[in-house]
Structure 1
């Protein structure tokens, strides 16, 4: 059963708890029928997801002063599954590493292991320990000797584990490799070779398949999976995208929303005249960027992009190592809160740069697509300035639980990090950067997707445009 579409029903007279179940935190916002927020609560996401859900809903209702009165409607979205764990099995090390990262980028996946050459028993054991959500099986350019690819297909077919295999290797051996995998009971999807010719990587077809796998994985489950699936039918990225679209319609300008989570950082692009349903082509999900499970990726990519210098990287390294293992930890003091914000702001910068490269369309007037952004582009900063760069995008919003900190100066500094980034400075020179400190974009999107457009507009107007 799909969610009601925007405008399909009139705004309900019932209050609602809008629930966002993340990989670390379950967040709940109590919203009155007129769209005004009345309470907020959060709870660590529990192994049995519903335990945290029930606790967050009850706490949000209590904070709104509802007590034991009639329960509000519960509108829920989920990204409890976190990033999709991707393991690469290939023939050659350098090609396998580069292909894996290009396939995972912007598709919601994070590379957690790379194996090259013929898989042996110790390699199979190591692979199992990496707990893959999907194995990307590649190996050889089209027409090369397929021996390693076929050996690895046969080995994967005989190993334990329920992970699917995405086969993107030598086209001449594709049918034989699929046959080996399926004969062993393995779920397999085949697509075009990621390395069709020596030295050439074509990640697009495999990336699209990974994005589809991520979309099925991200909702997560636990405990009473049937009840949770019935409750949380919307993926958090889709809820935030719907909130971004509603904000664009309300503000009358294009909007970029950066949602920094514990495991992923997502970017959503919406224009006032865009479709009411989110366009997947305008959404990127970075599975290696986050402020808990993805913290190491933030630091690595920030150094690669030149956002963080070696001195700051050394200073942040102990914090990042602690955050990766901390789970749903709350900063214990002002210094830790500042480090959290800094890491989130850096993740937002890297994710925005990637998004602008990836979308490959004229979303910001004056730019010939987004392929020219980044350290390798012309000019010292990689930016390509345009005279009308702010015509379509007029607002950037940073959202995510990390930005709920009640520190106006600190949040302003996070926004300034994005606004003053040398690569983003060209397209964002005249663009307003705001922080969603009330965590209302996902709730607004949930309201829209359940036919409560007026309430969503009121919530966004009060919290983000007021």
Structure 2
């Protein structure tokens, strides 16, 4: 065994999973899981998997979606353009998009935002040098609402400083970044993704009351879906770069799709090859990101099992005996999971 070992940990809402990896060889040394101790302190579950693997003092690489992960609301200009660009950028950052608002915020709109209880707001609107009045109006509305959550500003860069000044004058925590939609058909999610990740680590994860251990906030490096998308990107690059044959029959340069079926949601991650990217350019007003994630928020194997079963029945994927058997299993699981 190498002296340098990484302990890769995912602290989820249901289970805490860990894998020990030899950094010199890439060998998997072992894996462990433990129910996430979210009702007490998540560091208890972390200690359990670390002790089970018994790898001494490893380099810890942790991500988390416990406590609902990263809840994010998008405030934009046009629902199908800037607001949609913001939504796509948020999904690529691993956020759970709990609300999307388009147009000028009014009292009802700010009430809906407050009700959605986001951890972070993503404020977008206008292409660079384009329409700016809605973005400025929404900045003033959010400043007055004082929702008490960090705001990532990723709209028209011409008025970015003015937007930040409006928000900061009312005490808001503001993180400015590049426009998610600098031009029609040109989606640029990476700067916003980096800003959202920074806000999650600096302002959100420590405030979810998941642990009283001061080391917890420093332990977590990413929200789980963001880390998974990075992993899929690495896989895609490896498949393109060498003939060594990671997977038999894999075509170098091909796109990669990964489906992660969880207890509450199903996440789909996609990294396009350069050829596939070219075929998709400018087919949409928003554009298509080469690295993206989508979420089926009501399809999962535990908390959303009822919805998954109903969707399978609607698509006629189940014979009657299968449906009846699975219905009984779902009911039993719901009884076990009920508080």
**TM-score scaled by structure 2?**
0.59
Q: In the alignment, is the contact (CA less than 8 A) between 2:98 and 2:116 conserved in 1?
A: yes
Are 2:48 and 1:55 aligned? yes
Structure 2: stretches of 5+ with no match in the other structure: 248-255, 273-289, 320-325
Deviation at 1:44, TM superposition (A): 2.4
Q: Which of 17, 21, 26 lines up with 1:27 in the alignment?
A: 17
Q: In the alignment, is the contact (CA less than 8 A) between 2:64 and 2:222 conserved in 1?
A: no
Deviates more, 1:31-40 or 1:91-100: 31-40
With a CA cutoff of 8 Å and minimum separation of 6, indicate the structure with the bigger relative contact order.
1
Which position in structure 2 is the counterpart of 1:46?
Answer: 38
Counterpart secondary structure, 1:93 = coil
d(CA) in 1 for partners of 2:192, 2:78: 22
Which position in structure 1 is the counterpart of 2:293?
Answer: 286
CA-to-aligned-CA distance 1:395-422 (integer Å, 9 cap, x gap): xxxxxxxxxxxxxxxxxxxxxxxxxxxx
d(CA) in 2 for partners of 1:193, 1:242: 23
d(CA) in 2 for partners of 1:94, 1:17: 43
Which position in structure 2 is the counterpart of 1:117?
Answer: 103
Counterpart secondary structure, 2:139 = helix
Deviation at 1:178, TM superposition (A): 2.1
Which position in structure 1 is the counterpart of 2:260?
Answer: 260
Deviation at 1:97, TM superposition (A): 4.2
Deviates more, 1:85-94 or 1:286-295: 286-295
CA-to-aligned-CA distance 1:226-270 (integer Å, 9 cap, x gap): 32245555876389579959x98999335669472646555689x
CA-to-aligned-CA distance 1:279-324 (integer Å, 9 cap, x gap): xxxx94626258649998xx99xx9xxxx99615899xxx9xx99x
d(CA) in 2 for partners of 1:284, 1:158: 36
d(CA) in 2 for partners of 1:294, 1:150: 43
Q: In the alignment, is the contact (CA less than 8 A) between 2:74 and 2:124 conserved in 1?
A: yes
Which position in structure 2 is the counterpart of 1:311?
Answer: 315
d(CA) in 2 for partners of 1:186, 1:250: 48
Q: Which of 173, 191, 200 lines up with 1:208 in the alignment?
A: 191
Are 2:211 and 1:223 aligned? yes
Which position in structure 1 is the counterpart of 2:287?
Answer: none
What RMSD, in angstroms, separates the aligned Cα atoms of the two structures? 5.1
Structure 1: stretches of 5+ with no match in the other structure: 1-9, 62-70, 270-282, 331-466
Q: What are the equivalent positions in structure 2 for 1:12-23 lying under 5 Å apart?
A: 12=3, 18-23=7-12
Which position in structure 2 is the counterpart of 1:92?
Answer: 78
Deviation at 1:96, TM superposition (A): 4.5
- CA 1:76–1:216: 2 relative to 1, 3 Å: farther
Counterpart secondary structure, 1:79 = strand
Q: Which of 183, 188, 206 lines up with 2:169 in the alignment?
A: 183
Q: Name the one with the larger strand percent.
A: 2
Deviation at 1:112, TM superposition (A): 2.0
Q: In the alignment, is the contact (CA less than 8 A) between 1:265 and 1:286 conserved in 2?
A: yes
Deviation at 1:57, TM superposition (A): 3.4
Q: In the alignment, is the contact (CA less than 8 A) between 2:233 and 2:271 conserved in 1?
A: no
d(CA) in 2 for partners of 1:314, 1:100: 37
Deviation at 1:152, TM superposition (A): 1.3
Counterpart secondary structure, 2:9 = strand
Deviation at 1:180, TM superposition (A): 0.5
d(CA) in 2 for partners of 1:240, 1:178: 33
Q: In the alignment, is the contact (CA less than 8 A) between 1:100 and 1:136 conserved in 2?
A: yes
**TM-score scaled by structure 1?**
0.45
d(CA) in 2 for partners of 1:287, 1:22: 21
d(CA) in 1 for partners of 2:108, 2:49: 44
- CA 1:18–1:105: 2 relative to 1, 3 Å: closer
Are 2:61 and 1:77 aligned? yes
d(CA) in 2 for partners of 1:160, 1:125: 11
Counterpart secondary structure, 2:81 = helix
Count of paired positions: 280
Q: In the alignment, is the contact (CA less than 8 A) between 2:129 and 2:158 conserved in 1?
A: yes
